[in-house]
Chains A and B, each alone.
Chain A
């Protein structure tokens, strides 16, 4: 059953979408060049003028913006319009470096809320639903974004914010909430609390959940779906572009449709900045096509993912992005291959090893070496050499299949990999010591 908020955009043909994007991009680049001195300087340095951007095919000519630019330009340097036109500020928690402060005009807020409305309708939401928003409210974008989207769909909205879990569950029961929006870890916690309170998933009317703002696994998805008796959907966004709703999952649950009429997506090689073709893995870059308050062009998200235009059974034609597979900051280049610790971790867990491992990269005779030490579990230890060397070999092969390069695997005794703050140190790149 198709359920769209703006079908003319969500199901537009590729030509129609390109026409929208071309028109918006040309206007946006002109506006940013005129209004944002910081970006005008970047364009001038690169020798790019607004008239050089005639369509999205010219996008690659524009300079990138990074988190460092946001820091340098804090707080007003990237403002795209007069402050008097802005009505809202949202901000990140600022755990790394200075916090991001983003400005919104009323039009920006409406656009953002419409993106969230698309996400809610994609999980089956209508004006007959009761939508419980258990994201934090305030400077954090989670609560305000989904709250606004829920209003736009016409759901009865419960602005619960996060915390006070028993009261959340009480409201769920008394007011028959059908949709829950929160972080996946909070959803998992609500699921556990439901059980502790002696309730069953059937005692709740929930049918769907929209969960984002932090990484989560397929296994978490299954657990949440089981413990709350719902279908669990992913949502993606960042304060720099607006907030949640930049992309969202549909019933197919195979990646998130990007609201590309507002956010133009590219995948680049994080090392060279070169744009990669569809289907290749790299760093996700967003260009805000119609933001007024905080119009970032070619903003590097540092999230590593893959884009796909494969036909989706939900009927939407919006391009899809995979769940982020890692951060470009974590990326290592080993023998010319991009390697993420998360890829290695995936293999280790799949092969039954613990998450205590150490990746050591070095350069010997001008060749990169990759050594992976992993702690054996008591169940894996046997008395024959043959078994253990076979295990080492099988693991090395599995990692080679994943990365395309041969690692050296070392099985080590439990609790021998040094931990800092309870967590194992994951990567040591000794090549840096030589440079």
Chain B
């Protein structure tokens, strides 16, 4: 029902983001989604990948500050307005959406990654609207 996201603290200094993404690439971490949020001072790199425990371990050993969070992945169709539909369902159930970003896989199509304040309530509300959130394995 939910997937594990790794967040990596990135200082807003030249080369810091590249350092992190290079690290991910060189450790054969199979990425499914990646997003970056930043302010003037720092950024948070968020990734969805295969075997998140192992990837998190590697990042920590590499000296990165990380945290793991459970987020939802909801399939999204090509039709216009499908993201709006998801957000509306969540809003009607009083779920607060902290952030969203997209995940694409050739095999499985597009997903929205949703960071909400209550995964269970959100997943139930989406299920009620015929949108089935998926598990980690379904993304790979």
Contacts and interface: CB of A to CB of B under 8 A. Distances in A.
Contacts of B130: none
Contacts of B50: none
A376 B44 contact: no
A412 B7 contact: no
Contacts of A392: 41
B39 A412 contact: no
A411 B42 contact: yes
A379 to B, nearest CB: 9
A388 B65 contact: no
B37 interface: yes
A433 interface: no
Interface string A398-419: 0000000000001111111000
Contacts of B79: none
Interface centre among A378, A383, A414, A415 (most CB of B within 10 A): A383
Contacts of A376: 9, 65
Interface string A373-388: 0001010011111101
B39 A415 contact: no
B128 interface: no
A411 to B, nearest CB: 6
Interface in B18-42: 37, 39, 41-42
B9 A381 contact: yes
Contacts of B98: 384, 386
A378 B7 CA distance: 12
B11 A383 contact: no
Contacts of B42: 388, 410-412
A415 B67 CA distance: 17
A411 B40 CA distance: 11
A413 B65 contact: yes
A173 interface: no
The DSSP consensus for interface residues of chain A is loop
B133 interface: no
B63 A383 contact: no
A186 to B, nearest CB: 37
Nearest to A415: B63
Contacts, number: 45
B23 to A, nearest CB: 13
A382 B99 CA distance: 13
A389 interface: yes
Contacts of B11: 412-413, 416
Given A389-B39, A412-B11, A383 B44 contact: yes
Contacts of A415: 63
A383 B46 contact: yes
B5 interface: yes
A101 B44 CA distance: 58
A413 B41 CA distance: 11
Interface in B61-109: 63-67, 69, 98-99
B41 A410 contact: yes
Nearest to B63: A415
B40 to A, nearest CB: 9
A384 B115 contact: yes
Given A388-B44, A413-B11, A383 B67 contact: yes
Given A389-B39, A411-B42, A413-B11, A383 B69 contact: yes
B5 A414 contact: no
Contacts of B64: 413
Contacts of A414: 65
B65 A385 contact: no
B46 to A, nearest CB: 7
Contacts of B5: 383
Interface in A341-397: 376, 378, 381-386, 388-389, 392
Given A376-B65, A378-B65, A383-B115, A411 B41 contact: yes
Given A378-B65, A413-B65, A385 B39 contact: yes
14 contacts: A376-B9, A376-B65, A378-B67, A383-B67, A384-B99, A385-B37, A385-B44, A388-B44, A392-B41, A410-B41, A412-B11, A413-B64, A414-B65, A415-B63
Given A382-B7, A388-B42, A410-B41, 7 more contacts: A378-B66, A378-B67, A381-B65, A383-B7, A384-B98, A384-B99, A384-B115
Interface of A: 376, 378, 381-386, 388-389, 392, 410-416
The 8 closest A-B pairs by CB, nearest first: A383-B7, A383-B69, A410-B41, A413-B65, A381-B65, A384-B98, A385-B37, A381-B67
Interface of B: 5, 7, 9, 11, 37, 39, 41-42, 44, 46, 63-67, 69, 98-99, 115
